[in-house]
Amino acid sequence: MTETSQTERAIEKPDASPAKMSTRNVIASVLSAAFGVQSSRNRERDFSQGQYRQFIIAGVIFTVLFVATLVVVVNLVLD
């Protein structure tokens, strides 16, 4: 068997109980995706194990914190 066919067979076979992603993994994935450095392997893990609600909530929190940080930095520079 070739390596490709083994990989395809592993992908086709769903796990009986997919592992849940930890909060740390969700945060790391959101930060990586925000800066555009998310690896293909982690992206596939996110789609197979993660729940979309986790990523939406983490993304909104990251965006609010990022914008707030920019506002504070700009106000400090302008004062």
Domain locations in the chain? Answer: 20-78
Handedness of CA 29, 32, 33, 39 (dihedral sign): negative
| pLDDT (0 to 100) of residue 16 | 47
- Tens-level pLDDT at each residue, the chain (79 residues): 555 555 555 555 555 456 788 899 999 999 998 888 988 898 898 889 888 899 999 999 999 999 999 999 999 999 8
Q: How many CB atoms lie within 10 A of CB 51?
A: 12
- pTM of the full structure: 0.66
